[in-house]
């Protein structure tokens, strides 16, 4: 059973971090915390492996990666990171990229993978259009809300 003090520490960690949700399993009990209500379709999710959260709250002093600032046409839609993690354009180092500039995408297409807590989370497209720009280099760390791709819906 998970103790109330542990849950309170998790809530403080979630409040102080850039994460939107956190799921922990400990001693056969699973707790999921979220800052915002779940959307109609959640394309990605992740869980913290059992025992991954140490007794003292971890430091939130991880290096911050600033989003790139680029001149962008106003009609482009931005696809942002739903979590903190490592951005991958392909499922394996020797595999082709899911998308690149010029790729047509539609809802349900896989755009990239974000590795968080040793879990690979596929980010699915929610719009139709053409990828205009990939804003992050492969295997680079990303922050919650950072622009990953820009898509032309036209």
Residue-wise over 16-52: b if at least 16 C-beta within 10 A, else e?
ebebebbebbbeeeeeebeeeeeeeeebbebbbeeee
Q: Is residue 57 part of a domain?
A: no
Q: Is residue 100 part of a domain?
A: yes
pLDDT on residue 42: 40
Q: Is residue 53 part of a domain?
A: no
Cβ pair 121, 115 in contact under 8 A = yes
**Structure confidence by residue, pLDDT tens digits, 64-83:** 433 333 334 468 899 999 99
Alpha-carbon dihedral sign for residues 33, 34, 40, 41: negative
**Structure confidence by residue, pLDDT tens digits, 83-114:** 999 999 999 989 999 999 999 999 999 999 99
Predicted TM-score (pTM) of the model is 0.53
Q: Is residue 105 part of a domain?
A: yes
For the chain, what is the domain count? 1
**Structure confidence by residue, pLDDT tens digits, 31-57:** 777 776 554 444 443 444 444 444 444
Give the range of the structural domain holding residue 84, as residue numbers without chain letter.
77-152
Q: Is residue 15 part of a domain?
A: no
Cβ atoms < 10 Å from Cβ of 108: 10
Domain with residue 95: its CATH number is 2.40.50.100
Q: Is residue 117 part of a domain?
A: yes
Q: Is 17 helix (H, G, I), strand (E, B) or coil?
A: coil
Q: Is residue 14 part of a domain?
A: no
Query: 43 — phi, psi (to 5°)?
Result: -70, -25
Q: Is residue 141 part of a domain?
A: yes
């Amino acid at each position: 059973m998970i103790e109330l003090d542990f849950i309170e520490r998790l809530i403080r960690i979630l409040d102080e971090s850039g994460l939107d949700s956190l799921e922990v399993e400990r001693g056969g009990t699973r707790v999921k915390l979220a800052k915002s209500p779940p959307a109609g379709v959640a394309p990605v999710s992740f869980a913290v492996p059992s025992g991954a959260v140490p007794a003292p709250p971890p430091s939130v002093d991880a290096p911050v990666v600033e989003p790139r600032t680029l001149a962008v046409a106003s009609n482009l839609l931005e696809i942002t990171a739903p979590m903190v993690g490592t951005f991958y354009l392909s499922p394996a180092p020797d595999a082709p990229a899911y998308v690149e500039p010029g790729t047509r995408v539609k809802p349900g297409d896989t755009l990239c993978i974000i590795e968080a807590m040793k879990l690979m989370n596929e980010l699915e497209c929610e719009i139709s259009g053409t990828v205009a720009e990939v804003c992050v280099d492969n295997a680079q760390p990303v922050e919650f809300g950072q622009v990953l791709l820009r898509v032309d819906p036209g």
